[in-house]
């Protein structure tokens, strides 16, 4: 699941997880398509952010002065040339970009307004000097996730062992039950999903805040026009939705229709560097079709 917005009610979060669970059970290939889209978006975002970060840092003659101004309150800014500081990191990592794609990074102003950063916002925010890849680390993301690399590796190892067990029994003409053969379809899709979502933070409940040393109205006019009306106050009252109403609304909304609309909205960006090319779309369609045929084909074989 992506990181829910700050003003999301508990009912929407729980029903959203339930809906994702139902999709994974009935159509795991749809989950793989969504995961593959996010992986492609994270890789593109990584290239865009690293290029913009290098260009921004090249304009700054003294990294230590930049670090002092960013890490201290405005009234305490001073030169720190006498300190032995590490070189400022300028490369964005894939976990950081996955965190942005999942809605796990937000701006917070001094007057307690927050804004969830979208992938299309990263390049302008980096160019404006508001966001830097040194503001948060991969360890900060892992600290908020519910599963680390070891837990994911152990899960994939167990699934792979089951898959190898079934293949070996089938090759040796040993009996394999239809339920075991059907499980192979889920295992195959699960391994693929774990592979493309390896660096995505799992069940990250709250976003990482990038503190901006000014009020919301004092931001650069270009940044305010770009962000628009996506601000939410920290003390804003969360509207507790009725559980039955949220459940009924999700039941009435078709699963696949909402997923397609979410993907279209997610990739409707103003940055051409984040848009898919015709070749990438073709390759992605081939991979998605192969996964769907793999899942359905194994089920057909199990029923026969």
pTM exceeds 0.85, yes or no:
no
Residues 88, 129 contacting (CB under 8 angstroms): no
pLDDT in tens, 181-199: 888 888 888 888 888 898 8
pLDDT in tens, 47-59: 999 998 888 877 7
Q: How far apart are CA 109 and CA 210, in angstroms?
A: 9
- Please name the residues in contact with 166: beta carbons below 8 A apart, sequence gap of 6 or more: 176, 180, 181, 183, 184
What is the number of H-type helices and E-type strands within the chain?
12, 4
Work out the percent of the chain whose per-residue pLDDT is above 70: 79
Q: For 18-76, how does the pLDDT look when each residue is reduced to its tens digit (9 = 90+)?
A: 888 888 888 888 888 888 888 988 999 999 999 988 888 777 654 444 444 444 454 55
Q: What does the alpha-carbon distance between residue 121 and residue 224 come to, in Å, rounded to a whole number? A: 11
User: Band of the pLDDT at 258, cuts 50, 70, 90?
Assistant: low
Report the alpha-carbon distance of residue 283 to residue 264 in Å, rounded: 18
């Amino acid at each position: 699941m992506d990181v829910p917005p700050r003003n999301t009610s508990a009912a929407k979060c729980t029903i959203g997880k339930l809906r994702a669970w139902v999709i994974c059970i009935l159509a795991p290939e749809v989950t793989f398509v969504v995961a593959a889209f996010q992986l492609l978006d994270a890789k593109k975002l990584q290239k865009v952010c690293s290029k913009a970060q290098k260009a921004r840092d090249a304009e700054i003659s003294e990294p230590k002065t930049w670090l002092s101004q960013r890490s201290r309150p405005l009234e305490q800014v001073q030169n720190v040339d006498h300190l032995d500081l590490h070189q400022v990191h300028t490369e964005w990592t894939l976990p950081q970009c996955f965190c942005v794609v999942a809605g796990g990074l937000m701006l917070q102003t001094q007057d307690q307004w927050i804004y969830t950063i979208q992938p299309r916002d990263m390049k302008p925010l980096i160019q404006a000097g508001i966001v830097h890849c040194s503001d948060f680390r991969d360890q900060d993301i892992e600290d908020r996730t519910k599963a680390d690399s070891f837990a994911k590796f152990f899960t994939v190892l167990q699934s792979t062992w089951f898959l190898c067990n079934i293949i070996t029994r089938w090759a040796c003409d040993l009996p394999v039950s239809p339920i075991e053969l059907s499980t192979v379809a889920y295992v195959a899709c699960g391994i693929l999903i774990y592979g493309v979502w390896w660096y995505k933070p799992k069940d990250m409940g709250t976003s990482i805040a990038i503190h901006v040393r000014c009020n919301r109205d004092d931001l650069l006019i270009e940044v305010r026009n770009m962000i628009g009306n996506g601000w939410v106050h920290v003390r804003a009252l969360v509207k507790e939705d009725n559980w039955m109403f949220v459940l009924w609304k999700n039941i009435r909304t078709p699963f696949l229709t909402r997923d397609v609309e979410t993907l279209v909205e997610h990739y409707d960006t103003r940055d051409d560097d984040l848009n898919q090319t015709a070749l990438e779309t073709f390759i992605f369609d081939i991979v998605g079709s192969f996964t769907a045929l793999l899942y359905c084909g194994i089920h057909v074989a199990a029923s026969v």
